[in-house]
A = this chain, B = another copy of it.
């Protein structure tokens, strides 16, 4: 049963809208006005009619929906890369994660859906504010967006005696945060960095080696889509190069 205040995804005729069940303000769409106060008490998957009689299916938003609907402040980490980070760090529901370089918060949100807690640091106040709104919109109360310099924040977190299972860095100068990441990681925990440029990846690579991380590897992930049409089938590039991912483990 859908409860009052829950995030919902409404979908009709290929269009979709994020909303909150029970919102006093009705939702205006090209397919008519939808009374959101009528949603609480209904079941997930039910259809709600607009005043024009168009049926909107109500579903619980999932991560790919957040990806499409979060307001972006730059190029987000793509699902192919997020998936690789999740798989190679073995992200799980008991994890406490530190993320730096929030940006729009796409990676933090994906991790927040799976992990117990995510603290994500963003140096730009404007980006941090936007990411905070994105988390609110997504109903991700376990993702805390901090407007902070990651190096200073790492010292502070260390002072508080906090330990993380996974640390992710999507920063220009990620290499500088590697020593702090090592101190804050639990033994057996994973560091994952994402670097669009080769030179950044090399700097991170050198840093994780210097800091004594183990099981280090650096990869790029690419994705090709099969295009099915009447003329035939062919591969195309869905997402080409986006970044170098370095995975390293603390022992």
The SS class assigned to the A binding surface is: mixed
- Taking CB atoms, residues of chain B closer than 8 Å to A201 are 226
Q: Given B188, B222, B235, which contacts A57 in the complex, CB threshold below 8 Å?
A: B188
Stretch at the interface among A34-42, A129-137, A147-155, A238-246: A238-246
Interface contact A57-B221, CB-CB below 8 Å: no
Residues of chain A from 189 to 241 with CB closer than 8 A to chain B in the complex: 190, 196-202, 205, 214, 217-226, 228, 231-238, 240-241
- Give A127 to B59 CA distance when docked, in angstroms: 36
Contact with B along A90-101 (1 / 0, CB 8 A): 111100000000
Stretch at the interface among A17-25, A60-68, A118-126, A174-182: A60-68
- Taking CB atoms, residues of chain B closer than 8 Å to A221 are 80, 221-223
- Taking CB atoms, residues of chain B closer than 8 Å to A190 are 62
Interface contact B187-A62, CB-CB below 8 Å: no
- Taking CB atoms, residues of chain B closer than 8 Å to A110 are 87, 90
Residues of chain A at interface, number, CB under 8 A: 67
A11 at interface, CB cutoff 8 A: yes
Most buried by B among A60, A63, A186, A188: A188
Q: A83-B84, A240-B240 are in contact. List 12 more A-B contacts (CB 8 A).
A: A11-B188, A44-B188, A45-B188, A83-B87, A87-B110, A196-B232, A202-B233, A219-B224, A221-B222, A222-B223, A222-B224, A234-B241
9 CB < 8 A contacts A-B: A44-B187, A62-B190, A63-B90, A64-B90, A65-B90, A84-B223, A93-B114, A197-B233, A219-B225
